[in-house]
Amino acid sequence: MRIRWKWATLLLPVSLLVACSDQPSAPKDSQAAAAAAARASLSAGARRFTIKELGTLGGATSDAQAINDNGWVVGASDLSQAGASHAFLWKEGRMMDLGTLGGTSSKALGINDAGEVVGSSQVAGDASWHAFRWSHGKMTDLGGLGGSYAEGFVINDAGDVAGGGLTPDNAFHAALWRHGTVKDLGTLGGTQSYSNGLNNSDLVVGGANITGDLTQHAFLWKDGAMRDLGTLGGGYAGASHINGPGIVVGGSTLAGDVTTHAFLWQRGRWRDLGDLGGGYSYAQWINDAGQVVGGSSLADGAYHAFLWNHGAMTDLGILPGGSDVSWAQAINNRGQVAGVAITATGESRAVLWETR
């Protein structure tokens, strides 16, 4: 199974990725009851949504990363050629290969309502990855921060791009491409940062290491300054997205750094969004109506995509007959959700959830 984790995850300690398996064991009867309740919630929630597999570019696996308000989905898919994967744009039932910047592989990570796509691609020789913008059939090299890897993660309707890249000293920093230039957004005193979210007001969110690199906090970048948003009480937090009204979502450890939960931040106030019963959740996207999507563990060890709306977290379910794993990456303003689900044979597939 191949999972393209976001930099938000990569910069957090490994304990965060497996936090759901580190919870104190409950009595078996309690686990069974919790699992039954979770499955009942799944049945009720999943009936409200359809899940559509979007296919591949000829290979075995694909994953979806973003969706615009037209319902167009972008991500990456394996090709029939071994070892190669390309960025794709899926629209009106067809998956289009966006090509590369001359190298073997590429991946699409963001799309705006004009259909402009951003991501990362290997260049000729495959020695490095550069951020790119794709528009009207042409992929343009956006470069990076001087290191061997850069990515454009999200693009707003003005065409500004947030992402990040390696610097010449091999530190990963958040970056903003605007008006033809790239700006290193810096850190919160540590050596690393990343940005995954950008709205039409050019507010950027992500995560950054604190001085000493022992902890990471969510940040909001505005008018040239990076603001430390803090955490839900633990030592680590990362912001994944910011919507038009300026509401931020992501994931954070709670006090003690054992449990990780999805969060919502608005005007200085934090809200823990809970989980689906397994002790771990992470929010990836919020639309302008305040609907949040991401992934959460269940009491029986499964991991499912969720939709959080008006205080309630709904399990979006899995592929019929598939493995017990799915996660949501983005939701548009029409309520369509793009993400990934795992097949019965272990391959990841780009999927689209829609309300029935």
pLDDT mean across residues, the chain? 90
Q: Which residue has the tokens 């049945």?
A: 43
Q: Is residue 325 part of a domain?
A: yes
Q: Is residue 2 part of a domain?
A: no
Position 176, amino acid: L
Q: Is residue 260 part of a domain?
A: yes
Number of domains, the chain: 1
Looking up residue 58, the CATH number of its domain turns out to be 2.130.10.150
Q: Is residue 34 part of a domain?
A: yes
Torsion of CA 52, 54, 59, 62, to 10 degrees: -90
- Look up the pTM and report it: 0.89
Give, for 40, the enclosing helix (H) or strand (E): helix 28-46
Flag whether pLDDT at 314 surpasses 60: yes
Per-residue pLDDT band at 50 (split at 50, 70, 90): very high
The predicted-structure confidence for 112-170, as pLDDT tens digits, reads as follows 999 999 999 999 999 999 999 999 999 999 999 999 999 999 999 999 999 999 999 99
Most confidently modeled of 8-17, 37-46, 321-330? Answer: 321-330
Q: Is residue 1 part of a domain?
A: no
Which residues span the domain enclosing 94? 7-355
CA triple 340-149-155, angle to 5 deg: 55
The predicted-structure confidence for 56-84, as pLDDT tens digits, reads as follows 999 999 999 999 999 999 999 999 978 89
Pairing of strands 337-342, 49-53: unpaired
Q: Is residue 277 part of a domain?
A: yes
Per-residue pLDDT band at 25 (split at 50, 70, 90): very low
Q: Is residue 258 part of a domain?
A: yes
Helix (H, G, I), strand (E, B) or coil at 218: strand
Residue 60 near residue 78, CB atoms below 8 Å: yes
Per-residue pLDDT band at 47 (split at 50, 70, 90): low
Q: Is residue 54 part of a domain?
A: yes
Helix (H, G, I), strand (E, B) or coil at 32: helix
